[in-house]
Structures are given as C-alpha cells and as structure tokens.
Amino acid sequence: MWVCRALCGARTPTQLRRTLLPAWDRRRPAAASYSASAEPSRVRALVYEHHGDPAKVVELKNLELAAMGGSDVHVKMLAAPVNPADINMIQGNYGILPKLPAVGGNEGVGQVVAVGSSVTGVKPGDWVIPANAGLGTWRTEAVFSKEALIRVPNDIPLQSAATVGVNPCTAYRMLMDFEQLRPGDSVIQNASNSGVGQAVIQIAAALGLRTINVVRDRPDIQKLTDRLKKMGAEHVITEEELRKHEMKNFFKDVPRPRLALNCVGGKSSTELLRHLAPGGTMVTYGGMAKQPVIASVSLFIFKDVKLRGFWLSQWKKDHSPEQFQGLILTLCDLIRQGQLMAPICSELPLQDYQRALETAMQPFVSSKQILTMG
C-alpha cells in the first residue's frame, strides 16, 4: 500500500480511506446483510492534498473501496465532467470546500452495482448522480450513502446524464425564479457558449422566450454563432457589438430584456444592465472576469433595476430533495423530447486528466471536458 502511505504519510489504508470518504460514507458497523462483495476492490481516483493549480496538485491515486453498510450504495462511475466550480474548489476559491485530501469532481453519473439491505428507491443497474456538491466524482467507483444520490433515468444519453445536475438546473431555476416571463419576452446573457449559457438557450427556446446571447469576439465567431443559433439562440452578438450605439436600433425590433444572466462581471455585466428593461433583474451566478459588478446610480433611480445572485447549492439547501428530484425529472423530459442536448463535450479517459484540466482552464474553449471511467 505504498500509494496510500505516499498520500497520507504513515497512515494505514483504513485511515486513508476514512480521510478521503465523507462522514456519511464511514458509518459502522455494517448491516448484517447487503449485496456486495466482501473482497476489497481497488479504486482509481483523482486526489488533491492541497489547494492550488489543478494541473499541479491533482494526482491519480489508488484507493481502497469502503465496506458497505445497510444504507449504502456501491456505484461504478461512468462519466464525470470538469466544471468551473471543480476548478475553483481545487484552487480553494469556492463557497464549499471539502476536507483535504479530497477526491475532485462535483458532478457525474454512475451505475448502481449493489445496495445495502435497508436501501429503497434504487437498485443495481440504475443510474445515479450526486445530490449535492463535494461528492468526489472523479473516481472509478465508490460507496456512497443513499441520501447522497439522486436516481436519473437511464434512457437518456450518457453525456446528458453526466451533465444534467448542475448547469441545466442553474439555467432552469434562473429562468423561472426571478421574473414572471411569458412567451415572446427576451432574456440577455453573457458567457453564452458556457455550459449554463447553452442550457439557457435551449430551455428558453422550449419556453417560447427570445434570447440575446453575448459572447467574446474570436477568430471563429461565425462558427460559434451558427452553432448557438442551431441550439435555438435568436441573436448572438459580441461584447464589442453590445457597446455600440447601433444597439438602440436593435431594440426597436427586439423587446428589451426583463432578465439578464451574468456569469462574467466587470464591464460585461455593466453592459447587460444598461440594456435591461425598466424594473428588470440581473442575476449573477459567476464571475469569470474576476471583476466587480458596477451599476450606475441612475439605473437604480430611473430604471429601478434589481441585482440578484444565484447559487445552486444554496437553492438545494432551501428546497427539499424531492424538489430537486422533480427538477431533474423536468429536465430529463426536455432531454427526451430533444429540447435539451448536452453541451458540446470532449471525452477523455481518467488517466488523461492532466489534458482535461488544462483544456478546461483555457479561454475560448466551448467543449466541456468529460472524464470517462471505463
């Protein structure tokens, strides 16, 4: 067990396993009967001992699979994306930080291998996703508490299942929770080619909403524009175009948006606010520019704009697991109907994690990196 000792000094394998598994994954003693092999299984996982540059602190390690208890579920991970929140968590810049050392990854889909004797609601063969952030999905398999998992239908595409639990949920809630939008109303957003942005485009189209999608200028801007319009985007404009005087003419034919979705901050968010309809709301859910949101006093006085924030983890805290399950099923219905596709993805095997992490951190990358565990 030299790998375990290298990771955690002189700790025993059992101590290492308990360090890397959440509290709900350490319950003992195990139930008298459960459908799991008694033989120890080796797990490959992407582990970080310290916060820092993901490309430097994340390592592929061999871990020991925890023994199952009566309320546990043995899951074989199938696929897990690399999201901005995963990167931020490893860097130590996120609202939730797991105890170290930790397994990376907050999202993904796995297949149930076995269930404990008291587990109901899931069975071997079912697909499951994390109920909350911090689960550690970048590993080949794990034993989780049933309460840490949400079952998803296994008749949807694998990439959709692996990415349904974060970005589409964020997009749907922001579209539904802040303004009473009706078909024909418009929504403006920046970072429109992000995972959330792509979900906003598709869900808005399904709801009959018109989207104004702002992206950064780039050499292949026409290719990106065509791709977003194929998803359902009505308008795609660059940050530079948004600042031009000609935008006044644009809004003669398009209703001013009552809802703006900001994932950038800085000048980009200021421009979104400037084009909001009187009484409109801008919801901030990210800060890619790492610059503050700046709003002029006149916008508050004369246009009565509202500034709000959204964090899916907080929404989950404020709502029941059943409500989150309902949200997931609503999105799965859209997936089945062909109205919500997974973002453009690039699949990489777990051992190629360095390339996945480095690519995910590059600018102008529209393809989400997906780690496959096969």
- Give 166: exposed, middle or buried? Use CB within 10 Å, 0-12, 13-18, 19+: buried
Place of tokens 């890397």: 20
Specify the DSSP class assigned to residue 256.
P
What is the spatial distance between Cα 112 and Cα 318, in angstroms, rounded to a whole number?
Answer: 28
Asked if residue 28 lies in contact with residue 69, where contact means CB atoms within 8 angstroms, the answer is yes
Asked if residue 146 lies in contact with residue 136, where contact means CB atoms within 8 angstroms, the answer is no
What is the spatial distance between Cα 241 and Cα 271, in angstroms, rounded to a whole number?
Answer: 11
Q: At what angle do helices 167-177 and 195-206 cross, to 10 degrees?
A: 50
Catalytic residue among 34, 48, 94, 172: 94
Specify the DSSP class assigned to residue 342.
P
Residue 353 a catalytic site member:
no
Asked if residue 356 lies in contact with residue 82, where contact means CB atoms within 8 angstroms, the answer is yes
What is the spatial distance between Cα 111 and Cα 254, in angstroms, rounded to a whole number?
Answer: 46
Asked if residue 157 lies in contact with residue 128, where contact means CB atoms within 8 angstroms, the answer is no
For β-strands 186-189 and 149-152, DSSP reports them as: unpaired
**Structure tokens given for 26:** 């350490």
Q: What is the DSSP string of 274-295?
A: HTPPTT-EEEE---TT-B----
> Catalytic positions, please?
94
